[in-house]
């Protein structure tokens, strides 16, 4: 496992990390979580991603119980969580990044994790009603109080991120240091265009999610939706259109041929492709079984096989232009 600095911070994250979205509580209890997290940790993973909204808070509880059983030295791993949607429908409690919600949110998350602090907190989505300055101050305070070490954004626009950075710099506050965008062969927009500016100029890090496009890039949906997959889960019906899109499935079939040519699985190729981008600090992988963890971790060994020639073949399939160095 290789490690990359999280933007211009002094913290390093494993290039492949492990996230709990969809799986923890919904598909994996504490026992399975322990097995998968242990497999990832043994492979060199030091970053474990979560969010308060995942499984209505239960994902954090499962991870907290798993960490309690694993008894790892606290300094040896990183944990993240995110705030925006909230867990209740009351006024000031959902779809917001107001100061009250953020401070109450971190306190509740720490209880579920059974931790004194988390390493990273994110604003899970932008808030169009709360002034960005209020959010920046609240996140700064949470870091100042030692309840989190760093903070960042997820799925914010480039202009919103730059505004947050500039507010923090103007008031000498802890500024956001990392974005968590969706990034995969089907979704590349948040690593291009205006976003390049803050990755380059501000040294912003990125912890990308859905590198396998919710499993589409594993090939398991080529013949329909398996009953044990996330595409069949209650509450994830919105995924079905993407997972059964004939044009996307045709591209996946072509990509599979390229994977076979370089001697790896389809999912390993998709993960390694993400790692070719120098703006990517870590690729968040997910799994519902420990065997999937083992397979995903092997993607780190595939990166060097993705030569410029291979990238050009991938470009031809997806109709985009990428460079070998990711610029």
Q: Which residues are annotated as catalytic?
A: 54
- Scan for tokens 């808070």, then name that residue: 57
Tell me if 45 sits within 8 A of 35, measured CB to CB. Answer: no
Ranges of beta strands (E only) in the chain are 3-5, 12-14, 16-19, 47-49, 78-83, 118-123, 148-153, 178-179, 205-208, 282-285
128 Cβ neighbours under 8 A, 6+ residues apart = none
In whole angstroms, give the CA distance from residue 191 to residue 181.
8
DSSP 105-135: HHHHHHHHHT-S-EEEEEESS--SSS-HHHH
> What does the alpha-carbon distance between residue 136 and residue 152 come to, in Å, rounded to a whole number?
10
CA dihedral for 217, 40, 54, 123, sign (positive or negative): negative
User: Contact, 198 vs 158, CB < 8 A?
Assistant: yes
Q: Which two tokens stand for residue 44?
A: 């060199």
How many Å apart are CA 288 and CA 165, to the nearest integer?
36
Whole-number Å distance between alpha carbons of 278 and 273: 11
Structural contact between residues 322 and 311, judged by C-beta atoms closer than 8 angstroms = yes
């Amino acid at each position: 496992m290789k490690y990359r600095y999280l933007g211009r911070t002094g913290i390093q994250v494993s290039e492949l990390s492990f996230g709990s979205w969809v799986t923890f509580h919904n598909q994996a209890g504490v026992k399975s979580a322990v097995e998968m997290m242990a497999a990832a940790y043994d492979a060199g993973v030091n970053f474990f991603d979560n969010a308060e909204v995942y499984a209505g808070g239960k994902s954090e509880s499962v991870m907290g119980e798993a960490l309690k059983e694993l008894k790892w030295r606290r300094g040896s791993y990183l944990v993240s969580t995110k705030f925006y949607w909230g867990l209740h429908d009351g006024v000031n409690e959902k779809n917001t990044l107001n100061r009250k919600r953020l401070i109450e949110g971190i306190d509740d998350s720490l209880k579920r994790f059974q931790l004194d602090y988390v390493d990273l907190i994110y604003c899970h989505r932008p808030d169009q009603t709360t002034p960005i300055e209020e959010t920046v101050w609240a996140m700064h305070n949470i870091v100042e109080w030692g309840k989190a070490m760093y903070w960042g954004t997820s799925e914010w626009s480039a202009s919103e991120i730059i505004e947050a950075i500039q507010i923090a710099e103007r008031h000498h506050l802890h500024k956001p240091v990392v974005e968590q965008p969706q990034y995969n062969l089907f979704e590349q927009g948040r690593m291009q265009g205006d976003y390049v500016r803050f990755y380059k100029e501000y040294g912003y890090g990125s912890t990308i999610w859905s590198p396998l496009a919710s499993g589409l890039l594993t090939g398991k949906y080529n013949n329909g939706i398996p009953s044990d997959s996330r595409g069949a889960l209650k509450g994830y019906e919105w995924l079905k259109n993407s997972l059964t899109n004939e044009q996307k499935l045709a591209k996946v079939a072509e990509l599979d041929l390229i994977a076979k040519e370089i001697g790896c699985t389809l999912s390993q190729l998709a993960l390694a492709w993400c790692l070719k981008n120098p703006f990517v600090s870590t690729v968040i992988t997910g799994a519902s079984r420990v065997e999937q963890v083992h397979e995903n971790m092997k993607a780190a060994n595939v990166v060097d096989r993705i030569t410029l020639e291979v990238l050009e073949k991938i470009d031809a399939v997806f109709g985009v232009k990428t460079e070998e160095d990711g610029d």
